[in-house]
């Protein structure tokens, strides 16, 4: 029913912990390794390992969704471990897309740091890609749009959120449940000084597009 897609850069120990914690209950897992300097070992069974020859950044995980037939895809970052109960509750919600973390207040903010952090409950302006469950059928509706974006360095979760919310009218709601943060190390995108400015630029781009559409 669900395929877990884990995006890894330089956190192989975290990936191992995520897989071992979830594979007995959710055996269909894909690990995307964006670090060309290190190849992750193959697990066998229903666990696919994709060792990319270059870093395709985060949009790669959404593009890979179209290669699998499971009706739901669960996107997981490599620095967080959702509990099996949380995943089951997300599936039971029957929401076309849901996550555990999002941002609110885009229309009232002047930069990314002014946005409100929202965890585990409520509706948000966009979902943050730590843990996101999405129905494949609605991804199919924005397949062409996602391919047109290519592989941007930042903002894959923002792009998917805006396409689903404003193109298809799908609300972005959060799901409550337990999860555990895993060690970040010094390799997260948020360690880059320009990270949040680049994410804000993605938001502004889509906000401007919406204004143009409303005027037409």
Domain ranges of the chain: 2-215
Per-residue pLDDT tens digits for 67-119: 999 999 999 999 999 999 999 999 999 999 999 999 999 999 999 999 999 99
Q: Work out the average pLDDT over 126-146.
A: 95
**Bigger pLDDT: 207 or 28?**
28
Residue 191: pLDDT band (50, 70, 90) is: low
Q: How many residues does the chain have?
A: 216
Name the pTM for this structure: 0.93
Which string of DSSP letters, residue by residue, matches the chain?
-EEEEEEESS-HHHHHHHHHHHTTT---EEEEE--TTSPPPP-BTTEEEEE-SS---THHHHHHGGG---SEEEEEETTEEE-HHHHHHHHHTT-SEEESEEEE-GGG-SSGGGSEEEESSSB-SEE-TTEEEEEHHHHHHTHHHHHHH---SS-HHHHHHHIIIIIS----EE----EEE---TT--GGGSTTHHHHHHHHHHHHHHHHHHHHH-
Per-residue pLDDT tens digits for 137-175: 999 999 999 988 888 888 999 999 999 998 889 999 999
On whether the 2-215 domain is CATH 3.90.550.10, my answer is yes
């Amino acid at each position: 029913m669900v395929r877990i897609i884990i995006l890894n850069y330089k956190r192989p120990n975290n990936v191992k912990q995520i897989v071992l914690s979830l594979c007995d209950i959710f055996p269909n897992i894909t690990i995307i390794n964006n670090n060309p300097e290190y190849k992750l070992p193959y697990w066998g069974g229903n666990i696919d390992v994709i060792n990319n020859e270059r870093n395709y950044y985060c949009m790669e995980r959404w593009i890979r969704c179209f290669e699998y037939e499971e009706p739901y895809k669960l996107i997981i970052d490599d620095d967080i471990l959702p509990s099996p109960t949380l995943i089951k509750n997300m599936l039971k919600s029957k929401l076309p897309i849901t996550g555990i973390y999002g941002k609110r207040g885009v229309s009232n903010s002047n930069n990314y740091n002014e946005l409100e952090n929202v965890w585990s409950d409520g509706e948000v302006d966009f979902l943050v890609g730590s843990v996101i469950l999405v129905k494949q059928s609605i991804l199919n509706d924005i397949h062409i749009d996602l391919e047109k974006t290519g592989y941007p360095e930042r903002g894959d979760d923002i792009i998917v959120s805006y396409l689903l919310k404003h193109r298809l009218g799908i609300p972005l709601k959060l799901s409550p449940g337990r999860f555990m943060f895993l060690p970040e190390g010094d390799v997260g995108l948020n360690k880059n000084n320009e990270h949040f400015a680049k994410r804000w630029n993605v938001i502004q781009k889509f906000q401007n597009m919406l204004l143009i559409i409303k005027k037409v």
